[in-house]
Amino acid sequence: MMAVGLVGVLAPTLPAYAAPKSNDNLIQASCKENGNAGPLCKKASKNANVFSMIKTAINVVLSMIGIVAVIMLIIGGFRYVVSAGEAAAVKSAKNTILYAIVGLVVAILAFTIVNFVVGKF
């Protein structure tokens, strides 16, 4: 009983457990200490900038594709409403809606995959 009470009293004075740092964190910490001097610091910051630019560019393109897919979905819905039951017009409108949904799903999946893969670097 005494030991449990003693641990409870001394627990706030014990150093907090620090998770081991990854190589990237160690390189960044070393770069901060040395004023960003050394080849690893320059390489790490260059790679981070390149990956950041690529990720931003791909996200912008995929966002545009998503916007176009939503617009095409609206156009397909409008064409379906205006088709007045004509078989060819209804089929064309349904195809537009179907392809817009497929495009939207592909854009969302691509966005997710790019962010997952680029997030690993």
17-47 confidence digits (pLDDT tens) = 444 445 555 666 666 666 665 655 555 566 6
**What pLDDT shows up at residue 117?**
83
User: CB within 8 A of 77, min separation 6: which ones?
Assistant: 93, 97
Instruction: Classify residue 115: in a domain, yes or no.
Output: yes
Instruction: Classify residue 9: in a domain, yes or no.
Output: no
Instruction: Classify residue 88: in a domain, yes or no.
Output: yes
Instruction: Classify residue 44: in a domain, yes or no.
Output: yes
Instruction: Classify residue 35: in a domain, yes or no.
Output: yes
Note down the domain range covering 66.
25-119
d(CA 21, CA 70): 43
Instruction: Classify residue 53: in a domain, yes or no.
Output: yes
Query: Domain count of the chain?
Result: 1
d(CA 66, CA 110): 11
Instruction: Classify residue 19: in a domain, yes or no.
Output: no
Q: pLDDT tens, 99-116?
A: 999 989 998 898 888 888
Classify 5 as helix, strand or coil.
helix
Instruction: Classify residue 47: in a domain, yes or no.
Output: yes
